[in-house]
Amino acid sequence: MTERLEQFLVNKFECTSEEVSEVVKNFKYIEAAKEELLNEDGNICRNLYFVIEGCVKCNFIDANGQETIRYVAFENQLISSFHSFIKGTPSNEYITVVEPSKLLTISHTDFKLGLSKSSLFKDFYIKMLEITYLNNHWRIRTFLSLDAKQRYEYLIKNDKRIVQRLSNKNLSHFLGITQESLSRIKAKK
């Protein structure tokens, strides 16, 4: 079940399949049902996930019960409550399965071990952080300079999967607006 991750790594790095399997062998395969929580708000996030198939979100609920979605991962994307994973401090968000999913997962312990032993593993980590950076960069940029409607149109243009596969509710929470606002935006088009 690790072909997808291997392929992902081969695409991102120039390296042999032996090197790739050096990284991949540390991951283990799991399946997760819709609405399953891979980590809970308040707990230290000790795992990193790679989505083979399905959809997983990082989300949190504020004092008024309002949900917000910080990040969504589909096929061939990595997901974790990374601030918690990095620092070993409690997370402030959930990791919630959105669609029934097939995942590869690695524990923080194995991750650190891999980093200390393998140079390719370190390169993998750097590449992962770089990809994450680029993603966050655009997320910040769109929030800074676009209104809700423009952010919605940005997603349609640049990340259509999110618009197509998330429910309106989830999509609105990813955009940082209410369901009702998203309904109006879609109606007005």
Positions that interact with DNA (CB under 7 A): 34, 64, 66, 147-149, 167-169, 176-187
* 138 vs 92: CA distance, rounded Å: 22
CB of 46 to DNA, least distance (A): 28
| Residue 10 interacts with, from DNA, its own copies, none (CB under 5-8 Å by kind) | none
* 170 vs 167: CA distance, rounded Å: 5
> Is residue 145 part of the contact set for its own copies (CB under 8 A)?
yes
Asked if 97 and 56 touch (Cβ cutoff 8 Å), the reply is: yes
Structure tokens at 75: 């096929």
CB of 158 to DNA, least distance (A): 18
| Residue for token pair 């910080």 | 70
CB of 66 to its own copies, least distance (A): 7
CB of 86 to its own copies, least distance (A): 5
Residue 56 makes CB contacts below 8 A (sequence gap 6+) with 32, 38, 49, 72, 73, 79, 95, 96, 97, 98, 101, 103
> Which residues lie near its own copies (CB under 8 A)?
60, 62, 66, 68-70, 82-83, 86-87, 92, 122, 125-126, 129-130, 132-134, 136-137, 139-141, 143-145, 176
